[in-house]
Amino acid sequence: MENNTNNPEVCGDSKVFNLDEELGGDVKDSFDYAKRAQWLRAAVLGANDGLLSTASLMMGVGAVSKDVKSMFLTGVAGLVAGACSMAIGEFVSVYSQYDIELAHMKREGNMIIDQKQREKLPNPFYAAFASAFAFALGAGVPLLGAAFVNDYNLRLGVLLAVVSLALIVFGAFGAFLGKAPLLKSSFRVLIGGWLAMAVTFGLTKLVDHIKT
């Protein structure tokens, strides 16, 4: 009878599988994919935020002024302010998470944190840059799409068309990452964007009418 006591992978007549060897690669790949998907989803949300907030600002100014320069400068100001705000907010948020995870690792007895362990922690600088870049990318869509059209009515029409198309694309991509229905999610994002721009346009028009 074969002696299995010296074989750590055999217990009696049953083989004990090494989960690290059998599943390690798949688990690691899944974890890496989950991290990438999380960053992509955050980037899509940042781009959508930049697109919608900048477009709404431009629509609001367009409600009371037909000057193309005013709309363009408003969009630029919204892009810069929004990107800075997103970067600072993301930096503070991720740095807090970094401190919490670092303290947790030390409480578990890892007083000396090596470079490999630090690489697993969230990077606040990368998160801040990615968030600001995504916001600026989204905000650039209405700026490039409509800010240089001189005719007022055509400018508003182009702005609405370009932003609507971008909302559908961002909504579909976000749904793809979250494995949600593409059509339903895109439609939801589109309606929300239209509502935000309509409210901004209408309220700005109303305030201007009251003041005059």
What are the residue boundaries of the structural domains of the chain, listed by start?
Answer: 1-41, 51-211
d(CA 34, CA 30): 6
10 forms beta bridges with 15
Reported as type and span, the H/E element at residue 15 is: strand 14-15
160 close to 23: Cβ distance less than 8 angstroms: no
d(CA 35, CA 45): 16
Reported as type and span, the H/E element at residue 11 is: strand 10-11
What pLDDT sits at residue 33? 52
What pLDDT sits at residue 10? 46
d(CA 55, CA 169): 16
Residues of the chain with pLDDT under 50: 1-2, 5, 8-12, 14-31
Token output for 48: 């959508």
What pLDDT sits at residue 15? 47
Token output for 164: 């609507």
What pLDDT sits at residue 83? 95
> What's phi and psi for 10, nearest 5 deg?
-125, 130
What pLDDT sits at residue 190? 95
What pLDDT sits at residue 155? 93
Token output for 49: 């935020």
Q: What's the pTM value of the predicted model, to 2 decimals?
A: 0.75
What pLDDT sits at residue 117? 60
Q: Among residues 148, 136, 165, which one has the least CA distance to residue 53? A: 136
